[in-house]
A and B are shown apart, each in its own frame.
Chain A
Amino acid sequence: DTAVSQTPKYLVTQMGNDKSIKCEQNLGHDTMYWYKQDSKKFLKIMFSYNNKELIINETVPNRFSPKSPDKAHLNLHINSLELGDSAVYFCASSRGGVPSGTYEQYFGPGTRLTVT
């Protein structure tokens, strides 16, 4: 009965590799997000999708590419991983509607990415 799930929970990989993180929500929400939380705990929004459509695309390197196959899933693919990509990545979802930011966000458990 997990509301927002992410896999994997931990990801250790070497510089230059390509990796993906998957996110699924079973809440019937229309909007999903990816956040990056660095070692200083700052939560920075990266992307937001509403009904499979990209609505927020922050200035992140184009090595990061989100994909939403359906409104219950939002995956994050990262190419050519760098040391600075090490962080915890959180997926979140919220009810849809416009504007999408006016509803509670439900966060996944996070994926701790370590790039060596």
Chain B
Amino acid sequence: GENVEQHPSTLSVQEGDSAVIKCTYSDSASNYFPWYKQELGKRPQLIIDIRSNVGEKKDQRIAVTLNKTAKHFSLHITETQPEDSAVYFCAAGDDMRFGAGTRLTVKP
């Protein structure tokens, strides 16, 4: 099955800074790469996703980039705000393997 690695495990930034989280995957057949946000005590929710036929997708302050050759994809959050503080998960593979998660803290 797919093997997904996510880095860093924790990330602390100042409000207004950018945050980048990176994931690598092993199965070159994977073609769908979602990112989920999980706030404390809540369920994971999709914030952005990308398919393998595009290299980048943007939605306001959030963007995802995909490098199929290198088998990695990244989440970019610009102008971070305290409400961005959460655990972020990437996923890949037909069987939706999740990365280990990144705890993002945005300090006001």
Number of A-B contacts (CB under 8 A): 53
Neighbouring B residues of A108 by C-beta, 8 Å: 43
Contact: A45 with B101, CB < 8 Å?
Answer: no
Neighbouring A residues of B42 by C-beta, 8 Å: 109
Question: Is A100 among interface residues, defined by CB-CB distance under 8 A?
Answer: yes
Q: Classify the secondary structure of B's interface with A.
A: strand
Q: Classify the secondary structure of A's interface with B.
A: mixed
Contact: A42 with B43, CB < 8 Å?
Answer: no
* Residues of B in contact with A (beta carbons under 8 Å apart): 31-32, 34, 36, 38, 42-46, 49, 51, 87, 89, 91, 93-98, 100-101, 103
* Residues of A in contact with B (beta carbons under 8 Å apart): 33, 35, 40-45, 48, 56, 90, 94, 99-105, 107-110
